[in-house]
């Protein structure tokens, strides 16, 4: 019985101890105490390495306490706890046990905690992870942080806050193998402050660029070219030239003498600024008045427009319309002797063409109309002579077929049919001047960019007059329009044209005029341009044994003072030689003037 009573007594004591422990635990939970994170003075997220280091430290302390030794570096544990100072009179601490105040409910159980055990065995310390395992874990974390940093670097920086957050995350992942103190120091930098974005460097894409005036501008190819004036959807480039001409032959005739002439030239070019189609307008006006010497009073000019329209099914339409007013030249076969003023010849012409490309084949059909009408000639005695019998209209239709060997070479053939109709069916001399036109030619079209472009052709043309007593006008034809640039700043041009000239002279059918001109332009400096030209004209009369040869040469310089004004000069010579009497002449002239452009 006596043995049973101690056992019961020990059972009651155990229950009492359990109840006491339960009450103490509840009191510890209800009692306010400093958080472990605040005790270690950490801010923000606690790293896993810091928690692991803290657990290892406490495990070492328990092992040394069980052996009755003091852990190195634990001298701070013997320091008496800070004395509690009540905030107000009569306040007492929640618990007089210093160990309970400073301890943690998460600490491992001590040997003295269980009072029911007579010989309590100290708990076995936790196994410390090996250095190799710890290094491997740290390396894995470092690699993971590095990969994360690489991915974040590939993304575009959107805001300064995002950049700061990414940098702090990368630093945390890379420094996982560091000490607890280092983690604690970098933890506070994870938080963003209000002015953190102000300390960030601006995104290069958002930096302010330099002023427009400070940008490096591309040098202009021709700094003295006209800038033009915007007018609606067109850009107009006008120019005016005023100067004096000293000539040895005022009107380029066998009877002409020297004179000093005032010469004014107006020119303009208008180019459309459209997205798809295009239009151009060119015009000039030339006015000559005698200052002294041989009397000359004439004016001439021309205006021409062209419209290009792209249609469906790879069709392209080209329309042209022009007007010209030129006084009859004193050297013309139809010039009237003994007049004070030659008649004014006016021409209205227009054409409409349609182009079609089928593979490498090119087809162009063009219809054209040209009407010439003449004014009255003023005789020396004050009377006038009508020239209405020369008024006529020419209708033509031309079909061109070409084959594109390469983008630079396209040979072609042309067939032309037409009809010339005089307003007065029978002229003043009793001849029917209307005629039927037929021609054919072959040529080559070149397109090598700025180096060489244009076309040339050769063929045969015949114009049969309705009056059987008059011989048909027929002969070989040569046409050319080429531009060649052997080097930058130099342009050489070659033009050739074959023209059928009609007449109302009794017994004559007319003539064929072959005109050729070789031109050269050289830009010596940006503001100095030189030009030269050589010309050769050959006129063959039909119905009589006659011909004319005209040789001409010209050279000139233009010196630009600025982009809008310059000085220009020209030296020209012209000589006509004919086997017909009274037609030879020679004319030399020198021009000096000022040119203004916009």
Instruction: Give the separation between CA 220 and CA 485, rounded to whole angstroms.
Output: 19
For residue 11, the model assigns a pLDDT of 60
Structure tokens belonging to residue 251:
């009107």
Sheet holding 384-385, edge to edge: 339-341, 377-379, 384-385
Q: What is the pLDDT of residues 225-252, one digit of tens each?
A: 898 999 999 999 999 999 999 999 988 8
Residue in this structure with the two tokens 């009651």, named with its chain if needed: 12
> Which of 100 and 569 is assigned the larger pLDDT?
569
How sure is the predictor about 335, in pLDDT bands with cuts at 50, 70 and 90?
confident
Number of H helices, E strands in the chain: 7, 22
pLDDT at residue 481 greater than cutoff 90: yes
- What phi, psi does 184 have (nearest 5°)? -70, -35
What is residue 509's three-state secondary structure?
coil
Is the separation of the CB atoms in 456 and 484 below 8 Å?
Answer: no
The reported pLDDT for the residue numbered 255 is 83
Q: H or E stretch including 170?
A: helix 160-174
225 or 121, higher pLDDT: 225
**pLDDT-derived band at 212, boundaries 50, 70, 90:** low
Q: What is the DSSP letter of 120?
A: P
Digit-coded pLDDT (tens) for 158-173: 444 444 444 444 444 3
Q: Which helix (H) or strand (E) holds 136?
A: helix 131-154
* Euclidean distance between CA atoms 461 and 470, whole angstroms: 17
- pLDDT tier at 412, thresholds 50, 70, 90: very high
pLDDT, residue 207, reads 57
Q: Residue 471 is encoded by which pair of tokens?
A: 């011989």
Using a pLDDT cut of 70, give the percent of the chain over it. Answer: 67
Distance CA 179, CA 186 (A): 11
* Domains along the sequence of the chain with CATH: 31-73+92-120+128-190 (no CATH), 313-320+336-544 (2.40.160)
Q: How far apart are CA 462 and CA 414, in angstroms?
A: 14
pLDDT at residue 129 in the model: 46
Task: Single out the residue of 277, 282, 349, 281 nearest to residue 317, CA to CA.
Answer: 277
For 568, residues 6+ apart whose C-beta sits below 8 A from its C-beta are: 241, 243, 556, 557, 558, 559, 591, 592, 593, 594, 595
Q: Any residues with CB less than 8 A from the CB of 299 and at least 6 apart, and which?
A: 285, 286, 287, 288, 325, 327
Residue whose pair of structure tokens reads 């030659």 in the numeric block: 342
Q: Are 553 and 565 in contact (CB under 8 A)?
A: no
Q: What is the mean pLDDT of the chain?
A: 78
Q: Encoding tokens for residue 574?
A: 């012209």
> Which residue is it, tokens 């009107």?
251
Q: How far apart are the first and last CA of the chain?
A: 135
Higher per-residue pLDDT: 105 or 298: 298
- The stretch 7-29 carries a mean pLDDT of 64
**pTM of the entire predicted model:** 0.64
Residue 65, pLDDT > 60, answer yes
Q: In whole angstroms, what is the distance from residue 562 CA to residue 227 CA? A: 12
Given a cut of 90, whether residue 313 has pLDDT beyond it is: no
Q: Which of 19-23, 168-172, 545-549 has the lowest mean pLDDT?
A: 168-172
pLDDT value at residue 85: 54
Distance CA 291, CA 262 (A): 6
Q: Burial code of 114-126, b = ≥16 C-beta within 10 A, e = fewer?
A: eeeeeeeeeeebe
Distance CA 286, CA 554 (A): 18
How far apart are the C-alpha atoms of 292 and 298, rounded to whole Å? 15
The pLDDT of residue 340: 77
**What CA–CA distance (Å, rounded) separates 294 from 259?**
5
User: Dihedral (C-alpha) 27, 33, 35, 38: value to the nearest 10 degrees?
Assistant: -170
- Spell out where 466-564 has E strands: 473-484, 490-502, 510-525, 528-542, 547-560
Assess contact for 220 and 526: CB atoms under 8 A: no
- Burial (0-12, 13-18, 19+ Cβ within 10 Å), 240: middle
């Amino acid at each position: 019985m006596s043995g049973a009573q101690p056992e019961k007594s020990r059972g009651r004591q155990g229950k009492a101890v359990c109840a006491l422990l339960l009450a103490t635990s509840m009191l510890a939970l209800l009692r306010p105490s400093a958080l472990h994170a605040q005790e270690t003075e950490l801010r923000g997220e606690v790293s896993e390495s810091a928690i692991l280091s803290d657990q290892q430290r406490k495990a070492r302390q328990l092992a040394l306490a069980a052996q009755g030794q003091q852990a190195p570096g634990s001298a701070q544990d013997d320091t008496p706890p800070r004395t509690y100072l009540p905030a107000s009179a009569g306040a007492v601490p929640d618990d007089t046990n210093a160990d309970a105040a400073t301890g943690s409910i998460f600490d491992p159980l001590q040997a003295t905690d269980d009072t029911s055990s007579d010989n309590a065995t100290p708990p076995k310390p936790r196994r410390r992870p090996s250095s190799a395992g710890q290094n491997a874990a740290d390396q894995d974390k470092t690699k993971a942080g590095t990969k994360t940093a690489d991915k974040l670097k590939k993304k575009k920086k959107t805001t300064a806050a995002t950049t700061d957050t990414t940098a702090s995350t990368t630093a945390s992942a890379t420094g996982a193998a560091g000490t607890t103190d280092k983690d604690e120091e970098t933890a506070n930098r994870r938080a963003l402050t209000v002015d953190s974005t102000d300390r960030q460097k601006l995104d290069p894409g958002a930096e302010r660029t330099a002023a427009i005036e400070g940008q490096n501008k591309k040098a202009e190819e021709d700094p003295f070219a006209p800038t033009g004036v915007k007018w609606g959807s067109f850009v107009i480039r006008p120019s005016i030239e005023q100067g004096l001409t000293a000539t040895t032959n005022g009107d380029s005739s066998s009877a002409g003498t020297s004179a000093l002439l005032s010469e004014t030239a107006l020119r303009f070019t208008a180019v459309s600024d459209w997205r798809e189609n295009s239009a151009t307008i060119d015009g000039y006006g030339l006015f000559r008045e005698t200052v002294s010497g041989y009397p000359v009073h004439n004016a001439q000019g021309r205006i021409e427009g062209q419209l290009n329209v792209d249609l469906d099914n790879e069709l392209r339409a080209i329309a042209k319309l022009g007007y010209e007013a030129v006084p009859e030249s004193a050297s013309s076969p139809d010039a009237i002797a003994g007049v004070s003023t030659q008649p004014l010849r006016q021409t209205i012409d227009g054409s409409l063409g349609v182009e079609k490309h089928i593979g490498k084949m090119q087809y162009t059909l063009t219809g054209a109309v040209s009407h010439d009408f003449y004014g009255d000639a003023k005789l020396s005695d004050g009377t006038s002579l009508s020239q209405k019998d020369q008024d006529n209209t020419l209708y033509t239709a031309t079909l061109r077929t070409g084959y594109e060997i390469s983008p630079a070479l396209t040979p072609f053939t042309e067939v032309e049919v037409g009809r010339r109709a005089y307003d007065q069916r029978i002229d003043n001399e009793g001849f029917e001047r209307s005629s039927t036109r037929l021609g054919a030619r072959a040529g080559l079209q070149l397109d090598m960019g700025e180096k060489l472009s244009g076309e040339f052709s050769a063929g045969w043309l015949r114009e049969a007059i309705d009056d059987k007593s008059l011989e048909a006008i027929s002969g070989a034809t040569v046409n050319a329009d080429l531009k060649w640039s052997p080097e930058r700043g130099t342009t050489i041009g070659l033009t050739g044209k074959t023209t059928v000239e009609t007449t109302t002279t009794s017994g004559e059918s007319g003539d064929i005029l072959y005109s050729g001109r070789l031109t050269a332009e050289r830009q010596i400096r940006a503001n100095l341009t030189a030009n030269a030209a050589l010309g050769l004209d050959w006129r063959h009369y039909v119905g009589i044994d006659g011909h004319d040869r005209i040789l001409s040469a010209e050279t000139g310089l233009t010196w630009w003072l600025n982009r809008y004004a310059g000085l220009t000069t020209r030296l020209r010579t012209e000589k006509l030689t004919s086997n017909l009497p009274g037609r030879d002449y020679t004319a030399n002239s020198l021009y000096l003037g000022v040119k203004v452009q916009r």
